A and B are shown apart, each in its own frame.
Chain A
Amino acid sequence: MSELRIEATINGRKVKRTAQPHQRLLDFLRDDLHLTGAKEGCGAGECGTCSVFVDGVLKKSCLVPVGKAQGTNIETVESLAMGNDLSVLQQAFHKAGASQCGYCIPGMVMAATAAMRANPFAGREEIKERLGGNICRCTGYQKIIDAVELARDVQNGRLPISALAELDQEDGKFIGANIRRLDAPSKVSGALKYAADMTMPNMLHLQVLRSPHPHARIVSIDTSQAEAMDGVEGVITCADVPGEDGFGVFVHDQPIMARDKVRYVGEAVAAVASEDPVIARRALEKIKVVYEPLPALFDIDAAMAKDAPVLHDYAPDNVTKHIPIRVGDIEQGFAESDLVIEETYSTQAIEHAYLEPEAGLAYVDPDGVVTVISPSQNITHHRHMLSKIIAQPINKVRFIMSPVGGGFGGKEDMIYQGMLALMAMKTRRPVRLVFTREESIASTAKRHPSRTVLKMGLMSDGRIRALQLNMICDGGAYGLSSEGVMRKAAILGAGPYNIPHLRVDTLALYTNNTPSGAFRSFGALQTQFATETTLDMAAERLGLDPFEIRRVNAMRNGATTHTKQKLKSVSLLRVLEAAAKGSNWEAGIPTSRGDTRTDMGGEGLRPACTLGARFETIEATEPQSEVA
């Protein structure tokens, strides 16, 4: 190994350091210089959280070998706000509300800075194009682009500097008022520390060995060679769990690390800690696991088949949860209907793709309190579960929630915090684990893939008489939030409509796919997709306007839901009205449109995306000003 000598100017300071030749510029900045404003969202050039200027040119530092930094001038997001003053762009991001979880924001600010340096007069299309390499999963792009336009106009003197100032605010009024986020400055400046940005003295890095099999019996795990490796400070498996091993939002069916069996590809089997993550990764290769592959279930039909392999002993029929709802007499409802429609709908697994991959830091504090810092969406529940798992009283377990770089439900599960706690207890040193993007996708929950058979009976005026909904979901290898998702799917699936006869069944099954779990809208998306699509078809068959058919059935103030909840106020009619207006809806049956559409191209609608807004600027550039 020949170390690299890196001499560079970083944020205006001369830096002379040795670096490991395999490091990327991102590692060098984050791990060696503790400049954590640049983040690792993907490690593959796709997301833009890692952008830094190298000799004035913005680059994705996850794809820059550190050797390329030699002799360069590097600017990170930390250089933009000098002293306490945010740059104009950063202030504009703050003012425009362009930061939600904030994980993408330092990169966005850098890309916006680059765009404004390249063309201080860039129009909205050109700004979009120049920010094209940066992904945001929560703010959305409108506010971000608004912010860049605001900054541009202030910089060019078209707007006064006061346009960046605090918004006018009515005294004491917050609800309905446009107020600035208190935490935005920490996000736009890159100062906020997410779990992967945190370090502690003497800290170890954790790496996880994951199952290559969808379903297999673990015959043996031999960690001796890994443990004997120089630099390895600890190895853990399920054998290190002192208490009752099991977590899950409802049923506690998932062990911290696979016990006796693996049930999906990517399931944690063992973990290694070392001061050097490269050593920890190499040690994983030295762990010998003998598997005996078992027949696996990859879809719901296989899971329901007679004599299907059983994934969990407690659930011999592979059913994670079944939620039934019965109202009225469904057969009578269909008999009374003028029109009956029956259709099958399916939806796929969806990854949350929050920009912050899972990360956590655990340590045992001087009083023996096992402490886990992570972007968990459910710290209190995690604390209770971990206390049982590590057989410690609740006052010896502490969870600290770090800023969540996007969760959307995907960070409700205690997928890795248990491993961190066990390793911190075993080594008595702080331990940090940072998932790669690939690990995050492979091992954490997805939206439930579903198949819904929906039968709807309607009167000729559009009123729904009967609705029968049967949804079966692929819950994957473990329960996680499946039970809650099935409940919500059942409760909300028939929509905000008055329906006298109802029969709803939602069912989650165990399979050997990646576990399904919580995801924004929590099951309602899958069932309502079926209900709403059927309503559109019904409108077509009955010759009704799709908005009208919904109005006819809408619950109104004082309605009672299918599960007997009294609703004081129902906003559906207002929502429909706003949607019709916003979409320039042409009233009529869905098939009634002529050749020309008046609903397209109006206010609020925009043409399809294209690229090339910059060519006008390029053509106007004088050739002699080009850099050779």
Chain B
Amino acid sequence: MLHCDTYLTPASLDEAFDAMAAHQGRCRIVAGATDLLPWAREGRAGDVSIPVLIDITRIPEMNERRIDDKRVRLGAATPIQRFLDGPSLGRALPGMPRCAVWFADDQIRESATVGGNIVNASPAGDCIPPLIAHEAEVELAAKRDGKIVRRRMKLDQFVRGPSRTAIEEGELLTAFECDALAGYGGSFEKVGHRRSLVISVACIAALVKLDDSGRGFEDVRLAIAGVGPVPQRLSDVEEFLRAAPISQERLEQAAEMPVARVQSRTRQAYRREVLRGFVMRGLINALRRAGAGPEILAPELEASYV
């Protein structure tokens, strides 16, 4: 169990930083607690005592939401479920709703935050690939000499390895900003043992925009997780598809490209096979949602992968 002597719920960033300074080395940040509480159990960390827990979910800035044509800014404590409330957030960030629907379950998603998922930096963290595909930047804040200072960093630079990030002592993840990609088709594919409540064995996020003719790719963004220590953007595949006409052959060639990247320690052959089918399925689903009709994408091809 997770034991603490004090549970603080600061109402502002200032208060949070003061609490962090006052309890330096004896405190831990809590957002949704969905990683923290299961971690402090038998078989994992066991009984853990942390003197002070600091809950950041009631800080207004952590729940911010700003959407314009180019960028979307969301507070770090945004629960995953918000991507499923209605169409507007999903339209701006088409990579997120499918990720959200495969993430845990409806109840966990109401607690689990995007910020927690990012800072936890699990190789199976589902939010990271779609956010990388959206060119997400994270904003980190700290209080130095009485002033709140902020810095920004690309998400793929922030995540350094399994459970390792660039966050520093005394810093909080306050928000993340992404490209708004209205008009893109988005998909998220996940391999796991069951449908709900399942940690990814591997996952992929695909974002596709059709060109004016509707027969070619204008833009493609792909990111995968679970095949190496950190989630990665598939820039070579994106390059191969960008500005190319849509064809079965081209898609199949593209799906072959990332297979060599599989580095995970276990079940390599399985993961490679999965990845190939996966990239196909991700691209096909994204293409469909971007508006590709049956004349562009044969239904038979779809049937064999989706």
Closest-CB distance, A217 to chain B (whole angstroms): 25
Q: Is A114 a contact of B1 with CB atoms below 8 Å?
A: no
Interface flags, B91-128, vs A, CB<8A=1, else 0: 00000011001101111101100000000000000000
Of B41, B65, B87, the residue contacting A438 (CB under 8 A) is: B41
Q: Is B7 a contact of A21 with CB atoms below 8 Å?
A: yes
Of A24, A60, A278, A438, the residue contacting B43 (CB under 8 A) is: A438
Q: Is B108 a contact of A623 with CB atoms below 8 Å?
A: no
In the assembled complex, the Cα of A623 lies from the Cα of B47 at a distance in Å of 45
In the assembled complex, the Cα of A35 lies from the Cα of B142 at a distance in Å of 42
In the assembled complex, the Cα of A224 lies from the Cα of B290 at a distance in Å of 71
Q: Is A68 a contact of B108 with CB atoms below 8 Å?
A: no
Q: Does B68 contact A (CB under 8 A)?
A: no
The stretch from B31-39, B150-158, B245-253 touching chain A is B31-39
Given the known A-B contacts A64-B33, A65-B33, A130-B106, are A22 and B86 also in contact in the complex, defined by CB atoms under 8 Å? no
In the assembled complex, the Cα of A442 lies from the Cα of B46 at a distance in Å of 14
In the assembled complex, the Cα of A442 lies from the Cα of B110 at a distance in Å of 31
Q: Is B37 a contact of A132 with CB atoms below 8 Å?
A: no
Q: Is A618 a contact of B90 with CB atoms below 8 Å?
A: yes
Q: Does B171 contact A (CB under 8 A)?
A: no
Within 8 A of A (CB), among B35-59: 37-38, 41-43, 47, 53, 55, 57
Closest-CB distance, A492 to chain B (whole angstroms): 31
Of A65, A132, A281, the residue contacting B106 (CB under 8 A) is: A132
Q: Is A45 a contact of B108 with CB atoms below 8 Å?
A: yes
Give the interface SS of chain B, mostly helix, strand, loop or mixed. mixed
Q: Is A22 a contact of B97 with CB atoms below 8 Å?
A: no
Given the known A-B contacts A614-B84, A618-B84, A618-B90, are A22 and B4 also in contact in the complex, defined by CB atoms under 8 Å? yes
Closest-CB distance, A142 to chain B (whole angstroms): 16
Closest-CB distance, B218 to chain A (whole angstroms): 23
In the assembled complex, the Cα of A46 lies from the Cα of B5 at a distance in Å of 26
Q: Is B107 a contact of A48 with CB atoms below 8 Å?
A: yes
Residue of B nearest to A68 (CB): B55
List, in ascending order, chain B residues with CB within 8 A of A51's CB. 107
Q: Does B261 contact A (CB under 8 A)?
A: no
Q: Does B62 contact A (CB under 8 A)?
A: no
Within 8 A of B (CB), among A3-24: 4, 21-22, 24
Q: Is B85 a contact of A133 with CB atoms below 8 Å?
A: no
Given the known A-B contacts A4-B7, A621-B86, A627-B85, are A21 and B53 also in contact in the complex, defined by CB atoms under 8 Å? yes
Closest-CB distance, B98 to chain A (whole angstroms): 7
Q: Is A615 a contact of B97 with CB atoms below 8 Å?
A: yes
Q: Is B86 a contact of A626 with CB atoms below 8 Å?
A: yes
Closest-CB distance, B3 to chain A (whole angstroms): 5
Residue of B nearest to A57 (CB): B110
Q: Does A165 contact B (CB under 8 A)?
A: no
Q: Does A619 contact B (CB under 8 A)?
A: yes
Q: Is A438 a contact of B33 with CB atoms below 8 Å?
A: no
Q: Is B87 a contact of A59 with CB atoms below 8 Å?
A: no
Q: Is A65 a contact of B53 with CB atoms below 8 Å?
A: yes
List, in ascending order, chain B residues with CB within 8 A of A626's CB. 85-86, 88-89
In the assembled complex, the Cα of A62 lies from the Cα of B57 at a distance in Å of 18
In the assembled complex, the Cα of A64 lies from the Cα of B110 at a distance in Å of 11
List, in ascending order, chain B residues with CB within 8 A of A609's CB. 195
Closest-CB distance, B213 to chain A (whole angstroms): 26
Within 8 A of B (CB), among A420-436: 436
Q: Does B241 contact A (CB under 8 A)?
A: no
Residue of A nearest to B98 (CB): A612
Q: Is A62 a contact of B37 with CB atoms below 8 Å?
A: yes
Of A43, A118, A623, the residue contacting B87 (CB under 8 A) is: A623
Interface flags, B57-83, vs A, CB<8A=1, else 0: 100000001000000000000000000
Q: Is B42 a contact of A111 with CB atoms below 8 Å?
A: no
List, in ascending order, chain A residues with CB within 8 A of B37's CB. 24, 44-45, 62-63, 65
List, in ascending order, chain A residues with CB within 8 A of B42's CB. 436, 438-439, 442
Of B30, B38, B89, B106, the residue contacting A45 (CB under 8 A) is: B38
List, in ascending order, chain B residues with CB within 8 A of A65's CB. 7, 30, 33, 37, 53, 55
Of B5, B85, B104, the residue contacting A21 (CB under 8 A) is: B5
Q: Is A70 a contact of B53 with CB atoms below 8 Å?
A: no
Closest-CB distance, A343 to chain B (whole angstroms): 25
In the assembled complex, the Cα of A24 lies from the Cα of B36 at a distance in Å of 12
Q: Does B24 contact A (CB under 8 A)?
A: no
In the assembled complex, the Cα of A615 lies from the Cα of B97 at a distance in Å of 9
Q: Does A67 contact B (CB under 8 A)?
A: yes
Q: Does B165 contact A (CB under 8 A)?
A: no
In the assembled complex, the Cα of A438 lies from the Cα of B39 at a distance in Å of 13
Interface flags, A120-134, vs B, CB<8A=1, else 0: 000000000110110
Q: Is B197 a contact of A281 with CB atoms below 8 Å?
A: no
Q: Is B38 a contact of A63 with CB atoms below 8 Å?
A: yes
In the assembled complex, the Cα of A401 lies from the Cα of B30 at a distance in Å of 41
Q: Is A114 a contact of B106 with CB atoms below 8 Å?
A: yes
Q: Is B195 a contact of A611 with CB atoms below 8 Å?
A: yes
In the assembled complex, the Cα of A619 lies from the Cα of B97 at a distance in Å of 11
Q: Does B6 contact A (CB under 8 A)?
A: yes
Q: Does A58 contact B (CB under 8 A)?
A: yes
List, in ascending order, chain A residues with CB within 8 A of B53's CB. 21, 65, 67
Q: Is A58 a contact of B7 with CB atoms below 8 Å?
A: no
In the assembled complex, the Cα of A171 lies from the Cα of B98 at a distance in Å of 53
Q: Mind listing 25 A-B residue pairs with CB under 8 Å?
A: A1-B5, A2-B5, A21-B7, A22-B7, A46-B197, A58-B107, A58-B110, A59-B107, A59-B110, A60-B111, A65-B53, A67-B7, A68-B9, A111-B106, A114-B107, A118-B106, A278-B1, A281-B47, A438-B43, A611-B195, A612-B101, A618-B84, A618-B90, A623-B88, A626-B88
3 shortest A-B CB distances, which residue pairs?
Answer: A133-B105, A132-B196, A626-B86
Given A436-B41, A618-B97, 4 other A-B residues pairs in contact with their CB atoms under 8 A: A45-B34, A65-B30, A614-B101, A621-B86
